[in-house]
Structure 1
Amino acid sequence: MTVLLAMGAAAQAGSVVAQSASGSLRSAASQSVDLFARDRSVAVRDRPHPEYEAFGLRLGAFTAYPKLDVGTEYNDNIYAVASGEVSDTILRLKPEISITSGWSRNAVSAYARGAFSRYSDYDSEDTDDYGFGASGRLDVTRAANLLAGADFAHLAEPRTSSSAPASTVSPIEYDMASAYLAGSQTRGRVRFSARGDVRSFTYEDGRTIGGAVVEQGDRDRTSSSVTGRTDVALSPATALFVQATGNSRDYDVASTPLNPARDSSGYEVLAGANFEVGALARGEVAAGYIQQEFDSPAFGDVSGLGARASIEYFPTQLTTLTTTVSRTVEDAAIVGAGGYLSSSIGLQADHELLRNVILGGQLTYAEDDYEGIDRTDERLSASLRATYLVNRRLGVSLAASSFKQTSSGTNEGVDFKVNRLMLSLVGQF
């Protein structure tokens, strides 16, 4: 889902691998080809604050950045249920270390992080998440580079996920491993880029309060995709592009008449524009067609309009407004459905109240339309955040969020609402 933004010149990614690849592509493009640079303005969240940034620990040609986030959260509906809501206070500990190279050409980076949650009253919800990964960039020439990276993460599925079984005593845990290889080359007004991704998911079985096993093996899968893209610059501020992506999603379990596997293949074809309007706005907009065909006749194919957009607006140098739009095909983990069309739109506002005080708010609406069953899920989330940078060692963050799901249809899911209040102290070195 992040492939388009990871390869766009003004993109913002959504995952750690995609974010790393996106930043490297933009950096290389800005250094070598001005026709594709979109850097006249700097977003509030991206603006450097040298006086508040960690020095890091020098390790020869590399620099290590240790960080520790200690926070507490109040959640008024930890099981994400429609009635009988239970609240709890949660302690969260998030250690992290990242290492980056300091070379003038080429780049290598690596990270390791954890997220450990402890509930005050309901310790069956305790989770231990962790992950690590590395990425690199090879500058072949000033106009061509290669990117590669790999990540591994052990995660707990949120109770708010539509795929999460409600009957398990503890959240479902799973492993996710991913790797990518990407490259781009610019020739005059034309830039060619390509990317390949492989991602695997392995889920652990859950258990009910009575000890019965809740099988999750039918969700284990490997997804792969290949993307090609061509950008043509019309001016130093505008480029048109076409992009095609093919994917394959293979499940580990063998398909049977009683339990058909959700193996599928599909494609996405998009056309759009990448632009910058002076120092006022920049972004990328694309639309096209998406289709996912399932091997088993038990599941209906999913197809329709595909769309991606990310637009940043800078009314002042201290304020950034961001709009994002997406429409993709996602795998379902609900009986009778192979996949669903996921449509979302998000609005985000960030404001630098003071040099060391950053305010932010976000509003997102998403709709999941399932194929093969009569079910539509609507989700509305809103959040507010304030970050205070005490000095280059310490920072404090206060955030509040609300998440609401409404499900309709003869196979409707659960309607629920979750409100959270979070306070965290971040130390970096």
Structure 2
Amino acid sequence: MKYLVSAAIAALLVVSTPHVASAQDTASNFKRDRNVSVRERPRPDYEAIGVKAGGFTLYPRVTASVEGNDNIYATKADEKADAIWRVKPELAVRSNWSRHALGAFASASVNRYADFASEDTEEYTLAVNGRLDIVHGSNISGSVQYQALTEPRTSPQSPASAVKPIEYSLLTSKLTGVKEFNRLRLTGRLSDLDYNYDDGVDRLGGTVEQDTRDRNEFYYGGKVEYAMSPDTALFLSVLGNTKSYDLATAGRDSDGYVATVGANFELSEVVRGDVAVGYMKQSYDNALYGEIDGFSGEAKVEWFPTALTTVTTTAGRTIEEAVTTGSPGYISNNIGLNIDHELLRNVLLSANASYGKDNYEKIDRSDKRTGAGASVAYLLNRRVGVFLTYTYLKQNSSGVNHGTSFADNKLAASVALQF
């Protein structure tokens, strides 16, 4: 199935480029653009011009940063601090067409630790994306993306025994079709994610087995929306999935779905949001795992107290895959709050806080996470930006089969150059 999706997308070469809006959307009943958040607001004097190349524009960018981390291994005892130097080159390509869109993206991240070279990593991303505009209110879009990634030490699935962070690749393919009939909008979605993990090495030279995590996740479904008014729409969404592990001995193959009802809205010039509630279920082939089900929810609400401040609240309840022996997965509950403020046209302030709780099935384990952060962005001109970011994360894992508990503080200073 995964090859079918990838082949279909590659053959069509239709994929939606970020920040490129279809000309067909101008009279849509589903536009929610009366308010513009602080992060979305255009800043012509500080935006990259790009390099013209025929019908495309190239946007090169490179970011260099230094980060101080007081707990690089994310442990409760014997914490180790270090300075990390990062260099991240990027290149985005976007079409300049009046109809349809085609784009590409490439980035890399080279990360070097001052004292603990075992943590050094390199990551990269390659992607192509675009959109085919058919008739008014109809389009097909999709994307193909390949990533070589490193699992953060702070991940609840990261094995503490590995002397180096676990590396893995992720191939993501997506295909979306949209058809709008005045007050009715239909959306169909296919997506395919293929994970491939590299084995790790423990402190005694043994293998930290990761092949049991290699898997394919295929998602399929649709959404029906009805516009009650130009400001509010009700919707029904159903998203099914099939998760297949490469090793049958893993015993984690499953099928599931999430069915929700909700609304997206933009009430006056104060509030904009998307809220959904429903039911989720994941059934496992292994009879010992049975199934995980329960209430599902997702929400994002933006409040605009002034034109210079945006307050965003997010929440979600989902079923996630687990690595821990004896557990097929866990229910993850998360809430978050983010505040963005435009102090000056070129000075942006942000602060955030989050809380999450993961309840593992079939074993005695519960993880609680508390996060907070703050950042300052100073845009000197359209080519140079300076950033200062602080991040705090605390995890408390409890139960007989508990994972790692830790607290982590990071302070990073970055300089970005764009053209």
Q: 1:332 aligns with which of 322, 328, 341?
A: 322
Deviation at 1:33?
Answer: 3.7
- Spell out the pairing of 1:371-382 with structure 2 (5 A cutoff): 371-382=361-372
Following the alignment from structure 1 to structure 2, what is the Cα–Cα distance between the partners of residues 371 and 359? Answer: 40
Tell whether 2:345 aligns with 1:351.
no
Partner of 2:215: 221
Partner of 1:302: 292
Deviation at 1:126?
Answer: 0.2
Partner of 2:42: 48
Following the alignment from structure 1 to structure 2, what is the Cα–Cα distance between the partners of residues 250 and 33? Answer: 42
Tell whether 2:120 aligns with 1:126.
yes
Give, as a single letter, the amino acid of the residue that structure 2 aligns with 1:352: E
Q: Which whole-Å deviations, capped at 9, do the CAs of 1:295-320 have from their partners, x for residues lacking one?
A: 00122411100001011110011100
Q: Which whole-Å deviations, capped at 9, do the CAs of 1:81-134 have from their partners, x for residues lacking one?
A: 010000000000000000000001111110000111000000000000101101
Of 348-357 and 27-36, more deviation after overlay is shown by 27-36
Tell whether 2:158 aligns with 1:168.
no
Q: 1:273 aligns with which of 263, 268, 285?
A: 263
Following the alignment from structure 2 to structure 1, what is the Cα–Cα distance between the partners of residues 80 and 233? Answer: 52
Q: 1:22 to 1:185 in 2, by over 3 A?
A: farther
Aligned residues: 405
Q: 1:292 to 1:23 in 2, by over 3 A?
A: farther
Q: 1:52 to 1:32 in 2, by over 3 A?
A: closer
Q: Secondary structure at the residue paired with 1:36?
A: coil
Partner of 1:196: 190
Q: Which whole-Å deviations, capped at 9, do the CAs of 1:230-281 have from their partners, x for residues lacking one?
A: 00011111110000010000000022xxxx4211110110000111111111
Cα RMSD after superposing both structures: 1.3
Deviation at 1:23?
Answer: 5.7
- Preserved CA contact (<8 Å) 1:401 1:421: yes
Following the alignment from structure 1 to structure 2, what is the Cα–Cα distance between the partners of residues 96 and 299? Answer: 43
Following the alignment from structure 1 to structure 2, what is the Cα–Cα distance between the partners of residues 35 and 182? Answer: 19
Partner of 2:107: 113
Q: Which whole-Å deviations, capped at 9, do the CAs of 1:12-31 have from their partners, x for residues lacking one?
A: xxxxxxx967866xx34872
Tell whether 2:305 aligns with 1:315.
yes
- Spell out the pairing of 1:288-299 with structure 2 (5 A cutoff): 288-299=278-289
Tell whether 2:54 aligns with 1:60.
yes
Q: 1:145 aligns with which of 139, 152, 156?
A: 139
Following the alignment from structure 2 to structure 1, what is the Cα–Cα distance between the partners of residues 27 and 283? Answer: 39
- Preserved CA contact (<8 Å) 1:300 1:372: no
- Preserved CA contact (<8 Å) 1:356 1:389: yes
Following the alignment from structure 1 to structure 2, what is the Cα–Cα distance between the partners of residues 40 and 376? Answer: 42
Give, as a single letter, the amino acid of the residue that structure 2 aligns with 1:56: G
Following the alignment from structure 1 to structure 2, what is the Cα–Cα distance between the partners of residues 115 and 298? Answer: 41
Q: 1:245 to 1:161 in 2, by over 3 A?
A: same
Q: Which whole-Å deviations, capped at 9, do the CAs of 1:140-187 have from their partners, x for residues lacking one?
A: 012101001100000010001111111111000000001010011111
Structure 1, gaps ≥5 residues long: 1-18
Q: 1:182 aligns with which of 176, 183, 186?
A: 176
Of 205-214 and 75-84, more deviation after overlay is shown by 205-214
Tell whether 2:33 aligns with 1:39.
yes
- Preserved CA contact (<8 Å) 1:65 1:98: yes
Deviation at 1:376?
Answer: 0.7
Partner of 2:77: 83
TM-score by structure 1 length?
A: 0.92
Partner of 1:361: 351
Partner of 2:200: 206
Following the alignment from structure 1 to structure 2, what is the Cα–Cα distance between the partners of residues 74 and 389? Answer: 23
Q: Secondary structure at the residue paired with 2:25?
A: helix
Q: 2:393 aligns with which of 394, 403, 408?
A: 403
Q: 2:407 aligns with which of 391, 399, 417?
A: 417
Partner of 1:11: none
Partner of 1:386: 376
- Preserved CA contact (<8 Å) 1:30 1:37: no
Deviation at 1:365?
Answer: 0.7
Partner of 1:233: 227
Following the alignment from structure 2 to structure 1, what is the Cα–Cα distance between the partners of residues 309 and 67? Answer: 28
Following the alignment from structure 1 to structure 2, what is the Cα–Cα distance between the partners of residues 210 and 191? Answer: 58
Of 296-305 and 222-231, more deviation after overlay is shown by 296-305
Q: Secondary structure at the residue paired with 1:45?
A: coil
Percent identity of the aligned residues? 44
Following the alignment from structure 1 to structure 2, what is the Cα–Cα distance between the partners of residues 300 and 329? Answer: 14
Following the alignment from structure 2 to structure 1, what is the Cα–Cα distance between the partners of residues 279 and 27? Answer: 30
Q: Secondary structure at the residue paired with 1:129?
A: strand
Runs of 4+ residues over 4 Å off in structure 1: 19-24
Following the alignment from structure 1 to structure 2, what is the Cα–Cα distance between the partners of residues 234 and 23? Answer: 27
Give, as a single letter, the amino acid of the residue that structure 2 aligns with 1:394: V
Q: Secondary structure at the residue paired with 2:287?
A: coil
- Spell out the pairing of 1:8-27 with structure 2 (5 A cutoff): 27=21
Partner of 2:66: 72
Following the alignment from structure 1 to structure 2, what is the Cα–Cα distance between the partners of residues 350 and 412? Answer: 36
Q: Secondary structure at the residue paired with 2:77?
A: coil
Of 295-304 and 341-350, more deviation after overlay is shown by 295-304
